[in-house]
Amino acid sequence: MNAPVLNVDAPSAVAETEAFLRQIFGSHAAGHLVICTARPGNDRRTPLSPTWFQATDFEGAAAFAAAQSAHRQVFFAVGLQREQLPAPQRGGSKSVGAIPGVWSEIDVLHTVHQKTALPPTVEEALDLVDKVGIVPTFIIDTGHGIQCYWLFASLWVFADEADREAGQQLCNAFKAAVAKLARDKGWQVDAVADLARVLRPAGTVNRKEPENPLPVRFLIHNPDCRYTIDDIRAAIERLDTGSIAAPEPSLPKAITARAAAAADDGLAGIEFLHDDNLLVEQARGAENGAKFGRLWDGDDSMHDGDTSAADLALCESWRSGPGRTLRRWTGCSVDRSGGGTNEIRPTAPTAARTGR
């Protein structure tokens, strides 16, 4: 039986997958990138068929992924393999030569999942990610959950076996820290810390339910949020000790195609799940949406014409209402002064309000 057709524009899907891979691995990646495919369905025993690419052949890998995604499930290996192996091998954790950062997968409650102790909604999954305390570089909506990446400033290329083992230990510790946050809410998260883990690339199609294919898309992108190994270790230590509460997220604003083009980060022309206008409309419909709408439209009457007070009230109404619901981030900058402590600083909104 032919796979159901999902109305995804092929050129834009290729562009989104290529941008995704380029963001993950960077232009100086070495080794081999593995794209795996599988027949549609939800059987974990379904074998994966690997196809190998040079680590920087993002165009070729993206074109292959898009073609396969028309009728198959598509995954990519987060860890780059040192050497290409003969078919049908896809390589394991012990043959990984580099990783781009740390990652986590949070499933949302759905009949496709065997687990039932899961966040009921994507928003609650994002709330869990919020508690990690450092902003993800980007988050992918897989259709039945989210996959989150905290990327390094550059690939961690393993110099030797001891280095590779240190990388595995870091991923294990990060996984354990996120799992503890989930347990505190009565939830479970998948163990995805192995260096050869395969996840879903943006721009492809989730065919876990063959009769209901879903797009795999960028949900949130924070290009300035890149971390050192020590940053990740510090975040894990804070979560382990509970000594420092996770900071509030900065003012929500999803990056748009225009902003991506200005940032020149390879994401120009990509249509994100939420643009500025949609976020504002969602904010107007939030619990405190009436107040937010008046302030956004330039109504200063609640503050006796004091525009500064009105602006502060606008920021507070977003933070305490739609901001807490939407859980989107503008981005971050990491202040490494003062002994390497991380300070996540919110960035100001770029969209001008009516009447300002």
Distance of alpha carbon 315 from alpha carbon 76, whole angstroms: 39
Percent of the chain residues topping a pLDDT of 90: 58
And the tokens for 243?
A: 């000594």
Are the C-beta atoms of residues 151 and 24 closer than 8 Å to each other? yes
Instruction: Work out the average pLDDT over 199-220.
Output: 95
Q: What is the pLDDT of residue 293?
A: 72
Are the C-beta atoms of residues 126 and 327 closer than 8 Å to each other? yes
Higher pLDDT, 48 or 307: 48
Q: What is the pLDDT of residue 315?
A: 62
State yes or no: pLDDT of 105 exceeds 70.
yes
Model pLDDT for residues 136-168, shown as the tens digit of each residue:
999 999 999 999 999 999 999 999 999 999 999
Say which residues have a Cβ less than 8 Å from residue 110's Cβ, sequence separation at least 6. Answer: 118, 144, 145
Q: What is the pLDDT of residue 44?
A: 80
And the tokens for 169?
A: 């230990």
Q: What is the pLDDT of residue 252?
A: 32
Q: What is the pLDDT of residue 353?
A: 31
State yes or no: pLDDT of 271 exceeds 90.
no
State yes or no: pLDDT of 93 exceeds 70.
yes
Q: What is the pLDDT of residue 184?
A: 94
Are the C-beta atoms of residues 76 and 65 closer than 8 Å to each other? yes
- 3-state class (DSSP) for residue 14: helix
Q: What is the pLDDT of residue 318?
A: 53
Distance of alpha carbon 261 from alpha carbon 268, whole angstroms: 4
Instruction: Work out the average pLDDT over 276-302.
Output: 66
Distance of alpha carbon 321 from alpha carbon 57, whole angstroms: 44
CB count in 10 Å sphere of residue 244: 14
Say which residues have a Cβ less than 8 Å from residue 4's Cβ, sequence separation at least 6. Answer: 210, 211, 212, 213
Distance of alpha carbon 173 from alpha carbon 103, whole angstroms: 11
The band of 270, judged by pLDDT with boundaries at 50, 70 and 90, is low
State yes or no: pLDDT of 24 exceeds 70.
yes
Compute the C-alpha angle 144/149/153, nearest 5°: 165
The band of 57, judged by pLDDT with boundaries at 50, 70 and 90, is very high
Q: What is the pLDDT of residue 73?
A: 96
And the tokens for 270?
A: 């990509």
Average pLDDT, the chain: 79
**Which residue ranges form the domains of the chain, and what is each CATH number?**
10-241 (3.30.70.1790), 257-340 (no CATH)
Distance of alpha carbon 274 from alpha carbon 118, whole angstroms: 24
- Residue recorded with tokens 């022309």: 269
Say which residues have a Cβ less than 8 Å from residue 49's Cβ, sequence separation at least 6. Answer: 36, 37, 38, 88
| Phi, psi values for residue 53, rounded to 5° | -135, 150
Higher pLDDT, 115 or 96: 96
Residue type, 257: A
Going along the chain, which residue ranges are E strands? 32-38, 49-54, 73-77, 80-81, 96-107, 138-141, 145-157, 198-199, 205-206, 214-215, 217-221
| Phi, psi values for residue 202, rounded to 5° | -60, 150
Instruction: Work out the average pLDDT over 230-253.
Output: 68
The band of 210, judged by pLDDT with boundaries at 50, 70 and 90, is very high
Q: What is the pLDDT of residue 62?
A: 97
Positive or negative torsion for Cα 175, 181, 320, 333: negative
And the tokens for 95?
A: 């043959």
State yes or no: pLDDT of 11 exceeds 90.
no
The band of 7, judged by pLDDT with boundaries at 50, 70 and 90, is very low
Higher pLDDT, 244 or 250: 244
